[in-house]
């Protein structure tokens, strides 16, 4: 929500879910009602906490590099503060104060702190924002499908995609990969309600691939700064390297200029995930292991969205021969029974011990709307097809 402060420093199984719920219940029972863990409230995550034994409500904002109170909250709590001084937040001039030393209790923990006070901060009825590094919990799960925020001491050991986490960054950035290799940085901002926003280069590529997609315009504003406008559409899924984001609004990063989006330090990043973008994701923020763990939960069962398989005819051959379902995207594109697969998006595939490679199933299982270029051999003639994947199960 608070942009960049330049002047202040697969499905979860039942046993795993029960473990997280038990952990959460133990934490809640150990805290008072004013100090329970974060919870979903509409299009934001709210934390009940206490300052000097007085209850407060903060927005859990992984886009906020600091924890800050609004001027109205500081007055209500009767906090003494330093004199206001000019500052810059997201390139916008404002005034910044700092509180007297105080006691902050949150998520069952307690710390002594001096908090930033932003007299002009607007938080929609809450008292301020809580940065992701200040939650006083080493491992946090944000479970979008179940709309829960839980805490534990250790991350799970398997069943999750794992991406490097920038633990030294006041905002929640991680490095997304493609087939295990670094692809680029992604920013998670739970202080924003939107879905997935892309660097202009990626957004323009998507529009070129989907020229008939309906678009609308949306206003956008951080807690500070001018109101901007940008395009927006809806996608059933978007593939960003090894990460799939299902069922959300898609658009460009509003404040990005040129082809790339950059953070306050001038480092580029690929995409920005708001709270709606987490609707079909479970993420675990693990500071001890410096990882972000992710599970994508599709609202539609995973399946072959091409509607064709390429199978070896026997255990000795490397050739993959087409079997095509009637009415499928493959059939509509013109692929026929008996076509021999050469490449998909420029990558060649061969049978592996009498079976098609598992990586090929993952390619055909990408989100609806993904475009593939298939090259086949048809009785000695090379043929090329462009196919758009479609949800075939409902």
The DSSP secondary structure of 137-180, one letter per residue, reads: -SEEEEETTTTEEEEESS--SSSSEEEEB-TTSSSEEEEEEETT
The gap from C-alpha 274 to its chain's centroid, in whole angstroms, comes to: 7
Query: Which residue would you say has higher pLDDT here, 313 or 153?
Result: 313
pLDDT digits (tens, 9 = 90+) for 147-172: 999 887 788 888 899 999 999 998 99
As a whole number of angstroms, the distance between CA 44 and CA 51 comes to 21
- Region 19-35: what's the mean pLDDT? 35
Residues 334, 214: Cα–Cα separation, whole Å: 26
Q: Are strands 45-51 and 39-40 parallel, antiparallel or unpaired?
A: antiparallel
Give the 3-state DSSP-derived string for 71-91, with helices as H, strands as E and coil as C. HHHHHHCCCCECCCEEEEECC
pLDDT at 214 over 80: yes
**CATH no., domain 1-299:** 2.40.70.10
Q: What is the pLDDT, as a whole number, of residue 22? A: 33
β-pair type (271-273, 181-188): parallel
Question: How many H helices and E strands in the chain?
Answer: 5, 30
Query: What is the per-residue pLDDT across 86-124, written as a single tens digit (0 to 9) for each?
Result: 876 655 677 899 999 999 988 778 888 889 999 888 777
Longest CA span, the chain: 83
Distance of CA 276 to the CA centre of its chain: 9
Angle among Cα 28, 297, 260 to the nearest 5 degrees reads: 100
The count of other CB atoms within 10 Å of the CB of residue 33 is: 8
Question: 308-388, superfamily in CATH?
Answer: PDZ domain (2.30.42.10)
Is 101 in contact with 51 (CB distance < 8 Å)? Answer: no
Supply the pTM of this predicted model.
0.72
Please give the average per-residue pLDDT across 329-335, as a whole number.
97
CA distance 116 to 85: 12
Cα 97 versus chain centre, distance: 32
Residue with tokens 């906490």: 49
Average pLDDT over residues 366-370: 84
Structural domain boundaries in the chain: 1-299, 308-388
Token digits for 188?
């998670």
Q: In a 3-state reduction of DSSP, which class is residue 125? A: coil
Q: Is the pLDDT of residue 130 over 60?
A: yes
pLDDT of residue 269 exceeding 60, the answer is yes
Least confident among 67-76, 104-113, 307-316: 104-113
Segment (H or E) for 191: none
Residues 6+ apart with CB under 8 A from 337: 322, 323, 324
> What does the block give as tokens for 126?
């809450």
As beta bridge partners, residue 292 has 163, 285
């Amino acid at each position: 929500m608070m942009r960049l402060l330049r002047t202040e420093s697969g499905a979860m199984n039942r046993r795993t879910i029960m473990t997280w719920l038990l952990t959460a219940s133990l934490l809640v029972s150990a805290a008072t009602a004013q100090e329970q863990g974060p919870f979903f409230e509409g299009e934001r995550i709210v934390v009940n906490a206490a300052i000097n034994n007085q209850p407060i409500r903060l927005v859990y904002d992984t886009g906020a590099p600091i924890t800050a109170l609004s001027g109205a909250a500081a007055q209500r709590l009767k906090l003494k503060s330093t004199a206001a001084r000019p500052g810059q937040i997201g390139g916008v001039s404002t005034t910044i104060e700092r509180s007297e030393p105080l006691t902050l209790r949150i998520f069952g923990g307690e710390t002594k702190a001096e908090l930033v006070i932003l007299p002009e901060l607007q938080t929609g009825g809450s008292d301020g924002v809580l940065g992701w590094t200040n939650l006083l919990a080493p491992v946090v799960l944000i479970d979008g499908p179940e709309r829960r925020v839980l805490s534990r001491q250790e991350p799970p050991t398997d069943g999750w995609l794992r991406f490097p986490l920038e633990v030294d960054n006041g905002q929640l950035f991680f490095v997304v990969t493609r087939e295990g290799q670094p692809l680029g940085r992604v920013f998670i901002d739970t202080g924003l309600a939107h879905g997935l926003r892309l660097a202009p280069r990626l957004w323009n590529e998507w529009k070129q691939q989907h020229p008939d997609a309906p678009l609308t315009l949306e206003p956008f504003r951080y807690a500070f700064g001018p109101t901007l406008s940008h395009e927006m559409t809806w996608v059933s899924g978007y593939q960003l390297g090894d990460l799939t984001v299902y069922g959300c609004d898609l658009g460009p990063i509003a404040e990005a200029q040129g082809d790339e989006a950059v953070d306050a330090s001038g480092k580029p990043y690929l995409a920005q995930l708001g709270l709606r973008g987490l609707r079909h994701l479970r993420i675990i923020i693990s500071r001890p292991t410096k990882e972000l763990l992710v599970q994508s939960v599709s609202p539609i069962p995973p399946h072959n969205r091409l509607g064709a398989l390429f199978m070896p005819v026997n255990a000795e051959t490397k050739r993959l021969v087409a079997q095509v379902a009637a009415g499928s995207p493959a059939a509509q594109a013109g692929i026929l029974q008996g076509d021999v697969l050469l490449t998909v998006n420029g990558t060649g595939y061969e049978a592996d011990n009498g079976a098609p490679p598992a990586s090929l199933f993952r390619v055909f299982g990408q989100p609806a709307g993904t475009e593939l270029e298939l090259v086949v051999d048809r009785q000695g003639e090379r043929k090329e097809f462009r196919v758009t994947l479609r949800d075939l199960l409902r």
